[in-house]
């Protein structure tokens, strides 16, 4: 037996147990370090023994995040076709930076680009970079925006840098996601310099507040499709109109919320999104591909190529689409393959059904919580996010979250919403069922009773 075949056996056993095992890890970080942290072996070991040892020690410390009862961090699972394609990615071991280094990876990426744009209802001429996740996707888009708005002022930021450049005004909502602020830091624009505008009670940007903040000069507006706690959407149609009038670049951080565009039932939530200049989306969230898979989408393909392109005497200079001109990484794995496989295995109707079913399950969570005495849903559940508070008390709420995590019945995290503690439930997994949601609500009920006793 090969080490690869043994790894397949171990992986399949892990996957088969996801729906029945405790969702949290059964051993700790310290346990794993203690078991593995020994001197570097002088002699090599048999590959099968290496894999078996790794699985035996680290396996119990894994979290069942691909499973149906994981409701934390807006984490999707891994569709069977996407996971299988990801195994091929590792086995093929392609450096996916160009058509020369891997014709296969470059070709699949070109097709996946078109399918992503079709699924999200975005301009067919846009460029799509296959990045690691929302942070790097936001950064990639902001880098393209930075170059474009400064070029209008006659400044070549790629050649001259930011020193001495006309200042760029960045406008965000008060509930801006941390990944967006990190992207601004990476792009040299400064998280602390961003102008924050008021939002409504659900965290959505107020258009009149944005209009007051807009002015002359190079400006980037960062809107949201899916606030990370409430799931709320900024009014993108009104924001896009205001940005057009002022000449501002509109970027949409739609890590999970942009997938609403793939659903006939929900796409009204992103009305106006197609009028933006760039979008950041995660595939490892609602498309349910394995980590990692992010999408940096820019309407002006040339702006993306200018910001990300690499030139060197040893690099290919062929005409046409080259992956290396779409993301910051040069050497990288062929992460478009699982995205292609997920879209092909689902199709338009399957993708829409996945999104809509998860949202229906989120409403089922809210309905179940509403029947519990001493539990309260804090947000308007319009997507897949549910915020729950217990006993109208921070300590009780935190105790319930911790007890549910310990029970292994489900895993979810906590947050602070309008100054009070809350549990944050994210329904994003293709395999989650009504029975899984009902187990979560039952775990809430048990933990709440214990916390109040």
- pLDDT (0 to 100) of residue 313: 84
The rounded distance, in Å, linking the Cα atoms of 226 and 231 is 4
422 falls within a domain:
no
400 falls within a domain:
no
Q: What is the mean pLDDT of residues 188-198?
A: 98
User: Bridge partners of 294?
Assistant: 131, 282
* CA of residue 88 relative to chain centroid, distance: 23
Whether pTM exceeds 0.95: yes
- CA-nearest of 172, 170, 222, 227 to 201 is 227
Q: Which domain holds residue 133?
A: 83-343
The rounded distance, in Å, linking the Cα atoms of 74 and 85 is 22
Which residue would you say has higher pLDDT here, 209 or 1? 209
181 falls within a domain:
yes
- CA-nearest of 169, 215, 217, 216 to 196 is 169
Structure tokens given for 317: 């200079």
| pLDDT of 316 higher than 80 | no
423 falls within a domain:
no
| pLDDT of 317 higher than 80 | no
pLDDT bracket for residue 327 (50, 70, 90) = very high
92 falls within a domain:
yes
Q: Give the count of domains, the chain.
A: 1
pLDDT digits (tens, 9 = 90+) for 156-179: 999 999 999 999 999 999 999 999
User: Bridge partners of 279?
Assistant: 252, 297
- pLDDT (0 to 100) of residue 319: 79
The rounded distance, in Å, linking the Cα atoms of 222 and 178 is 12
For residue 98, the domain's CATH number is 3.40.640.10
| pLDDT of 315 higher than 90 | no
What percent of the chain has a predicted confidence (pLDDT) above 90? 97
DSSP structure class, residue 424: E
Lowest mean pLDDT among 100-109, 116-125, 180-189, 317-326: 317-326
H/E stretch holding 294 reads strand 294-298
| Torsion, CA 141, CA 132, CA 335, CA 32, rounded to 10 | 180
Lowest mean pLDDT among 229-233, 290-294, 314-318, 343-347: 314-318
61 falls within a domain:
no
- CA-nearest of 424, 375, 367, 371 to 203 is 424
- CA-nearest of 91, 129, 138, 131 to 110 is 129
235 falls within a domain:
yes
Q: 102 Cβ partners below 8 Å, 6+ apart? A: 94, 95, 96, 334
Q: 335 Cβ partners below 8 Å, 6+ apart? A: 89, 96, 130, 132, 292, 293
415 falls within a domain:
no
pLDDT digits (tens, 9 = 90+) for 126-153: 999 999 999 999 999 999 999 999 999 9
| pLDDT of 318 higher than 80 | no
| pLDDT of 44 higher than 90 | yes
- Give the 3-state secondary structure of 366-415: HHHHHCCCCEEECCCCCCCEEEEEECCCHHHHHHHHHHHHHHCCCECEEE
| Torsion, CA 194, CA 197, CA 198, CA 201, rounded to 10 | -60
Give the number of C-alpha atoms closer than 13 A to the C-alpha of residue 380, restricted to the C-beta side: 9
- pLDDT (0 to 100) of residue 77: 97
Identify the three-state secondary structure at position 287. Answer: coil
């Amino acid at each position: 037996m090969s080490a690869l075949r043994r790894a397949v056996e171990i992986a399949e056993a892990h996957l088969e147990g996801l729906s029945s095992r405790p969702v949290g890890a059964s051993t700790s970080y310290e346990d794993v370090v203690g078991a593995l942290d020994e001197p570097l072996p002088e002699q090599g070991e048999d590959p099968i023994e290496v894999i078996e040892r790794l699985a035996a020690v680290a396996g119990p410390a894994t979290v069942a995040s691909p499973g149906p009862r994981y409701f934390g961090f807006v984490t999707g699972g891994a569709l069977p076709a996407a996971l299988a394609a990801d195994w091929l990615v590792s086995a093929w071991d392609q450096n996916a930076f160009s058509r020369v280094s891997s014709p296969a990876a470059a070709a699949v990426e070109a097709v996946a680009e078109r399918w992503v744009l079709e699924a999200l209802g975005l301009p067919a001429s846009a460029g799509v970079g296959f990045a690691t996740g929302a942070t790097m996707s936001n950064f990639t888009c902001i880098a393209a925006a930075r170059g474009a708005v400064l070029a209008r002022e006659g400044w070549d930021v790629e050649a001259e840098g930011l020193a001495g450049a006309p200042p760029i005004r960045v406008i965000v909502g008060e509930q801006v996601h941390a990944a967006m602020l990190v992207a601004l830091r990476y792009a040299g624009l400064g998280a602390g310099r961003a102008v924050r505008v008021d939002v409504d009670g659900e965290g959505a940007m107020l258009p009149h507040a944005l209009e007051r903040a807009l002015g002359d000069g190079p400006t980037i507006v960062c809107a949201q499709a899916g606030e990370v706690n409430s799931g709320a959407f900024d009014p993108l149609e009104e924001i896009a109109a205001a940005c057009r009038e002022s000449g501002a670049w509109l970027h949409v951080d739609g890590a999970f919320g942009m997938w609403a565009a793939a659903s006939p039932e929900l796409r009204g939530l992103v009305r106006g999104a197609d009028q933006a200049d760039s979008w950041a989306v995660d595939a490892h969230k609602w498309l349910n591909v394995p980590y990692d898979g992010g999408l940096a989408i820019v309407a002006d393909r040339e702006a993306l190529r200018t910001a990300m392109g690499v030139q060197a005497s040893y690099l290919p200079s062929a005409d046409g689409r080259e992956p290396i001109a779409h993301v910051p990484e040069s050497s990288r794995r062929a992460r478009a393959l699982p995205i292609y496989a997920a879209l092909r295995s689902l199709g338009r109707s399957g993708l829409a059904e996945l999104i809509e079913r998860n949202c229906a399950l989120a409403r089922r969570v809210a309905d179940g919580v509403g029947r519990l005495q001493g539990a309260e849903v804090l947000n308007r559940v319009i997507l897949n996010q549910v915020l729950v508070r217990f006993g109208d008390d921070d300590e009780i709420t935190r105790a319930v979250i911790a007890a549910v995590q310990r029970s292994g019945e489900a895993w979810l995290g906590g947050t602070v919403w309008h100054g009070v503690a809350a549990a944050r439930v994210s329904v994003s997994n293709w395999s989650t069922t009504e029975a899984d949601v009902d187990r979560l609500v039952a775990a809430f009920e048990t933990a709440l009773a214990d916390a109040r006793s």
